[in-house]
Amino acid sequence: MTELLFREDAYLTEAEAEVVGHTPEGGIILDKSLFYATGGGQPGDSGTLIWDGGRLPIATCVKAPGAENVLIPAEPLALPPPGTPLRQRLDWDRRHRHMRIHTALHLLSVVIPLPVTGGQIGADKGRLDFAMPEALSDVAAVEEALNALIDRDLPVTEDWITDDELMANPGLVKTMSVMPPMGQGRVRLVRIGFGRNQVDLQPCGGTHVARTAEIGRIVLGKIENKGRNNRRVNILFGD
């Protein structure tokens, strides 16, 4: 299994690694990876691999059968063979924007306390779909409440619980369409705030900023009707 370096430090932008194999489709598997693989509505990371005599741009990272982290080349160039030591470099600006949007969506689920039916994260915007029979009565008030939480500069931390503990506390799961990653014996919880200032706690395998103020100002975009009881709320960076 690839060691997932982003799980230990989401701010790590470069790291050494070794190629351990290739997939039949031409993907690259490393012994340790900075790259987040597409999942949970968050896109896979992009970046570059650099080794003695070679350089390869990476378009994205995905999960594949038998491999949790597979790097997909952006160009049809020669792959570094297994055993090659190399340096991996993340497209940090893109990843950091994903982290900001992802954390903002957690806060959006706080100010709109309804079941989440879907979501998507991008480098410029994101969205959550809610089980929401009626339209938002005051969009400006929701935007103001969201930015007030961001401005509180709350810490974003993580805890781990067992699969059984999560099953015993189903209220932790806000997303109806995607189940938390289970089957490894433990599940990662992302916590925003602490103690009396805690505002959110939910299972999540994605990457987030360390404090909410790092998100920056967020504006609400289009509110879309996606069915009789489903509405999509879009958010964008306000800077």
The Cα 5–Cα 212 span in angstroms is: 22
Are 103 and 221 in a shared domain?
Answer: yes
Whether pLDDT at 171 is above 80: no
Query: Of the candidates 62, 90, 118, which is a domain's last residue?
Result: 90
56 & 165 share domain: no
Q: How many independent structural domains does the chain possess?
A: 2
* Confidence band of 172 (pLDDT split at 50, 70, 90): low
Range of the domain at 74: 3-90
Residue 176, pLDDT > 60, answer: no
Q: How many CB atoms lie within 10 A of CB 145?
A: 16
**Tens-place pLDDT, residues 40-60:** 899 999 999 999 999 999 999
pLDDT at position 182 = 53
- pLDDT mean across residues, the chain: 91
User: In this structure, are 70 and 136 located in the same domain?
Assistant: no
Provide φ and ψ at 160, rounded to 5°.
-125, 140
Domain end: 90, 124, 140, which one? 90
Q: Is the pLDDT of residue 175 over 90?
A: no
**88-126: per-residue pLDDT in tens?**
999 999 999 999 999 999 999 999 999 999 999 999 999
pLDDT at 194 over 80: yes
Q: Are residues 85 and 118 in the same domain?
A: no
**pLDDT, position 70:** 97
Buried b (16+ CB within 10 A) or exposed e, 49-69: bebeeeebebebbbeeeebbb
| CATH number, domain containing residue 62 | 2.40.30.130
Report yes or no on whether pTM surpasses 0.85.
yes
pLDDT at 174: 65
Query: Which of 189, 197, 194 lies closest to 169 in space, CA to CA?
Result: 189
Mean pLDDT across 201-217 = 95
CB 9: neighbour CB atoms within 10 A? 11
Q: Same domain for 83 and 178?
A: no
129/224 same-domain check:
yes
The number of angstroms, rounded, from the C-alpha of 216 to the middle of its chain's C-alpha atoms is: 17
Q: Which of 88, 25, 38, 83 is nearest to 58 (CA)?
A: 88
Q: Is 228 found in the same domain as 113? A: yes
- Same-domain check for residues 77 and 41: yes
Domain at 226, CATH number: 3.30.980.10
Same domain, 137 and 199: yes
Q: Are residues 81 and 107 in the same domain?
A: no
In this prediction, residue 155 carries a pLDDT of 97
In the block, tokens 């915007």 appear at 125
140 vs 62: CA distance, rounded Å: 37
pLDDT on residue 235: 98
Q: Would you say 92 and 100 are in contact if contact means Cβ atoms under 8 Å apart?
A: no
Crossing angle of helices 139-151 and 92-111, rounded to 10°? 120
| Residue finishing a domain among 90, 114, 143 | 90
Residue % of the chain over a pLDDT of 90: 78
